[in-house]
């Protein structure tokens, strides 16, 4: 059925049995492809019937459906003509694991981070009405996203509008109450039936016609009804914000969901449709362990390299045993950032604030001002959401908050919304913040220990896995000191000097080995710290050699990043120097999905690519710059 060219059109007239058959086919397709390619399995299995009901009423090519986060949009993609390409999911040049406007006319808005859908939907609804258009606007958002302040900001605004807008709350038990009994269903059906709405409006009009006492009667009835809702109806929060509420509805019952959606559209204005679903539905392993099957790695992956995340948890747990002031903070990512070990060891000093990165950072600032030593563990891509809080609440107050930026650099298959390549550029302008990046796990350990000893903001950025192959002997040979880099290769004569930061240094080492085959002598200065930058160490190496070329290398955007800082330093210290400085990193453009190795190769940042760019630069070819 998924191969039918007019599937969306046919879906509206399908029988219940046909939709059930289609749901089975979708689940089989998900189970075939997602474990092979990696991706989000449990969340997509949980929205099969919900999506079928949604597209039984709406047309994704005409209406505007915004999928919050977007990791649960695989079913949407299968139903909107991408079944023939679904085997390419999350592969280089294949379809994305998230909605992408350039990919299909059915993808009306790019999503990748949580809690953006309601704000975007309000924007779509206002744009529609201002331009006299008639399409429907729907936001599909999970209950976990309700921990983010942006959701409440949007709901607060939604309560003020008269624009037609439906918000489907996909409640899979993450945080919103799971009140799905017969009474809740009964109340939901009565309160949202068309006849009920008509009768309610009629009674109100009749009472208001009664002289003197009519208005008082309406207000008393409304007050009594509000009190009753608080006791019996789970949607009171939304009603108080000014949004009509429907539900809870069984999100795996296509017929009930379809009817509920039709009622939501009939009601008009902003409407919350509360659907109860189960992550992993229809696939027993995912039902039993939805967290594990939320995001899975591709099958047949190579042996896993050592994990920076796991090392984070280990080191913080060890430090916490001797320092009771150490706390650890997660924004709904305790497993992904390796904090489970600390959580188990010190449950009273571990805080998971949900999908609320801004709150996490300012709370950490409060802890630091109160005498504690907080460590905020967050993915680089999500730290973007706490830019203001880190600048305003941590940096300007010089508070000892340590941010451990996991998944920094190219993040791989999740694509452009998840690449951790912007952190160096947006952090380097913040006053008084220490910024460093290890090239291996042993360096990361030493940097976390240094962070514990400092009394100002401290940032350590690192990727998910340590693929450097370096052992503890590396740190023994080149001890980590605050604000000091490491000269890991000092040639007797110098042709090229590499100035690198972080694990990308390993790619530089590979490039040097290739360049040596061309009799090109290279030096390597691993800066370790972007701030404070080791000016003395770098200048000492430059002074000892007559380098023909200086090359900066970073796993981040060049614009405003480490390369700009290093190049500016060289130009300041050596005014009038004719030695060219080129910077290797990501251009100022979206970086689409692929493996980390493929992304490095695509941008000339693997060992071979770096070597080729250096050879071209030495020949004076401008294309390498």
Note whether 308-461 and 484-620 share their fold.
Answer: yes
pLDDT digits (tens, 9 = 90+) for 581-608: 999 999 999 999 999 999 999 999 999 9
> Are the C-beta atoms of 175 and 146 separated by less than 8 Å?
yes
Helices (H), 95-209: 117-130, 149-158, 182-192, 194-208
Task: Choose, from 385, 452, 528, 531, the residue flagged as catalytic.
Answer: 385
**Catalytic site residue 279?**
yes
Looking at residue 40, what DSSP letter applies? -
> Are the C-beta atoms of 172 and 99 separated by less than 8 Å?
no
What are the boundaries of each domain within the chain?
Answer: 59-76+96-179+234-279, 308-461, 484-620
Q: C-alpha angle with apex 604: 598 to 605, nearest 5 degrees?
A: 75
Instruction: Please report, for residues 383, 501, 543, 590, the alpha-carbon distance to residue 317 in angstroms, rounded to integers and kept in the order given.
Output: 23, 27, 43, 37
Express as a percent the part of the chain with pLDDT over 90: 75
The top-level CATH class assigned to 308-461 is alpha beta
pLDDT of residue 192: 47
pLDDT of residue 235: 66
**If pLDDT is split at 50, 70 and 90, which confidence band does 178 have?**
very low
**If pLDDT is split at 50, 70 and 90, which confidence band does 182 have?**
very low
* pLDDT at residue 175 greater than cutoff 70: no
Return d(Cα 466, Cα 462) in angstroms, integer: 9
Q: For 40-49, 185-194, 339-348, 589-598, which range has the lowest pLDDT when averaged over its residues?
A: 185-194
Express as a percent the part of the chain with pLDDT over 70: 91
Q: In what order do the strands lie in the sheet with 522-526?
A: 486-489, 522-526, 496-500, 549-557, 581-586
pLDDT digits (tens, 9 = 90+) for 77-130: 999 999 999 999 999 999 999 999 999 999 999 999 999 999 999 999 999 999
Match 């998910």 to its residue by tokens: 464
Q: Phi/psi at 141 (nearest 5 deg)? A: -135, 140
Token readout for 437 is 């990046």
**Catalytic site residue 385?**
yes
Q: How far is CA 435 from the centre of its chain?
A: 22
Cβ contacts of 79 within 8 Å, gap of 6 or more: 2, 7, 8, 11, 26, 51, 52, 55, 60
**If pLDDT is split at 50, 70 and 90, which confidence band does 301 have?**
low
Q: Phi/psi at 309 (nearest 5 deg)? A: -60, -50
Q: For 213-217, 306-310, 474-478, 571-575, which range has the lowest pLDDT when averaged over its residues?
A: 213-217
* pLDDT at residue 427 greater than cutoff 80: yes
Return d(Cα 39, Cα 74) in angstroms, integer: 10
pLDDT of residue 576: 86
Return d(Cα 273, Cα 361) in angstroms, integer: 32
**If pLDDT is split at 50, 70 and 90, which confidence band does 423 have?**
very high
* pLDDT at residue 343 greater than cutoff 50: yes
pLDDT digits (tens, 9 = 90+) for 315-324: 999 999 999 9
Pairing type for strands 165-171 and 137-142 reads: parallel
pLDDT of residue 231: 47
Q: What's the pTM?
A: 0.86
pLDDT digits (tens, 9 = 90+) for 188-236: 454 445 555 565 666 667 777 788 777 777 777 766 665 545 444 556 6
pLDDT of residue 189: 53
Q: Among candidates 251, 243, 44, 245, which has minimal Cα distance to 125?
A: 243
Task: Choose, from 279, 343, 407, 416, the residue flagged as catalytic.
Answer: 279
- The answer as to CATH 3.40.50.970 being correct for domain 59-76+96-179+234-279 is yes
* Overall fold of domain 484-620: Rossmann fold (3.40.50)
**Catalytic site residue 32?**
no
Token readout for 250 is 């069984």
Task: Choose, from 19, 239, 349, 357, the residue flagged as catalytic.
Answer: 357
* pLDDT at residue 624 greater than cutoff 80: no
pLDDT of residue 149: 87
Structural element, H or E, at residue 551: strand 549-557
Instruction: Please report, for residues 265, 312, 374, 451, 460, the alpha-carbon distance to residue 319 in angstroms, rounded to integers and kept in the order given.
Output: 55, 11, 12, 11, 16
Helices (H), 213-333: 214-232, 236-241, 254-267, 284-288, 308-322
Looking at residue 307, what DSSP letter applies? B
């Amino acid at each position: 059925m998924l191969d039918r060219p007019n599937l969306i059109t046919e879906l509206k007239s399908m029988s219940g049995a046909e939709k059930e058959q289609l749901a089975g086919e979708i689940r089989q397709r998900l189970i075939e492809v997602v474990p092979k390619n990696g991706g989000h399995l449990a969340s997509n299995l949980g929205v099969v019937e919900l999506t079928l009901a949604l597209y039984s009423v709406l047309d994704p090519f005409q209406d505007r459906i915004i999928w919050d986060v977007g990791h649960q949009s695989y079913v949407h993609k299968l139903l909107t003509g991408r079944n023939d390409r679904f085997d390419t999911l999350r592969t280089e040049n294949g379809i994305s694991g998230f909605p992408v406007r350039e990919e299909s006319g059915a993808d009306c808005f790019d999503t990748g981070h949580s809690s953006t859908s309601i704000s975007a939907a309000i924007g779509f609804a206002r744009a529609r009405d201002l331009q006299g258009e008639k399409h429907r606007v729907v936001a599909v958002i999970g209950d976990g996203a309700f921990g983010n302040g942006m959701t409440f900001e949007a709901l607060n605004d939604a309560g003020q509008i008269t624009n037609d807008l439906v918000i489907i709350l996909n409640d899979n038990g993450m945080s919103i109450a799971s009140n799905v009994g017969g009474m809740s269903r009964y109340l939901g059906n009565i309160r949202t039936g068309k006849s009920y709405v008509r009768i309610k409006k009629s009674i109100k009009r009749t009472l208001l016609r009664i002289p003197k006492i009519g208005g008082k009667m309406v207000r008393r009835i409304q007050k009594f009804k509000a009190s009753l809702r608080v006791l019996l109806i789970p949607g009171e929060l939304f009603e108080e914000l000014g949004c009509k509420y429907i539900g809870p509805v069984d999100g795996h019952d296509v017929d009930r969901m379809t009817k509920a959606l039709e009622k939501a559209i009939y009601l008009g204005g902003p409407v919350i449709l509360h659907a109860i679903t189960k992550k992993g539905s229809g696939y027993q392993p995912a039902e039993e362990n939805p967290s594990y099957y939320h995001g899975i790695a591709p099958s047949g992956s190579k042996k896993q390299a050592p994990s920076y995340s796991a090392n984070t948890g280990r080191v913080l747990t060890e430090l916490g045993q001797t320092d009771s002031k150490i706390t650890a903070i997660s924004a709904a990512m305790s497993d992904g950032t390796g904090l489970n070990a600390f959580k188990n060891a010190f449950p009273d000093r571990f805080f998971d604030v949900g999908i609320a990165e801004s709150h996490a950072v300012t709370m950490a600032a409060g802890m630091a001002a109160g005498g504690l030593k907080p460590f905020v563990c967050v993915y680089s891509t999500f730290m973007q959401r706490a830019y203001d809080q880190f600048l305003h609440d941590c940096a300007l107050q010089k508070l000892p908050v340590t941010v451990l930026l996991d998944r920094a650099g190219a993040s791989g298959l999740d694509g452009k919304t998840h690449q951790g390549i912007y952190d160096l550029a947006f952090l380097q302008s913040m006053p008084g913040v220490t910024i460093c990046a290890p090239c291996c796990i042993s360096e990361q350990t030493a940097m976390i220990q240094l962070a514990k000893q400092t009394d100002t903001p401290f940032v350590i950025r690192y990727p998910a896995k340590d693929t450097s192959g370096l052992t503890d002997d590396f740190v023994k040979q080149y001890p980590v000191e605050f604000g000091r880099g490491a000269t890991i290769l000092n040639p007797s004569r110098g042709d090229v000097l590499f100035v690198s930061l972080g694990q990308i240094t390993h790619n530089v080492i590979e490039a040097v080995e290739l360049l040596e085959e061309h009799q090109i002598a290279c030096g390597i200065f691993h800066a370790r710290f972007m701030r404070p930058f080791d000016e003395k160490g770098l200048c000492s190496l430059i002074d000892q050699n007559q380098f023909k070329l200086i090359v900066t290398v970073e796993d981040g955007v060049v614009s405003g990043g480490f390369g700009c800082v290093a190049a500016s330093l060289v130009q300041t210290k050596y005014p009038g120097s004719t030695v060219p400085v080129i910077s290797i990193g990501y251009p100022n453009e979206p970086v689409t999905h692929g493996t980390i190795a493929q992304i490095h190769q695509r941008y000339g940042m693997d060992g071979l690519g770096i070597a080729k760019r250096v050879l071209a630069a030495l020949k004076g070819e401008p294309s390498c710059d």
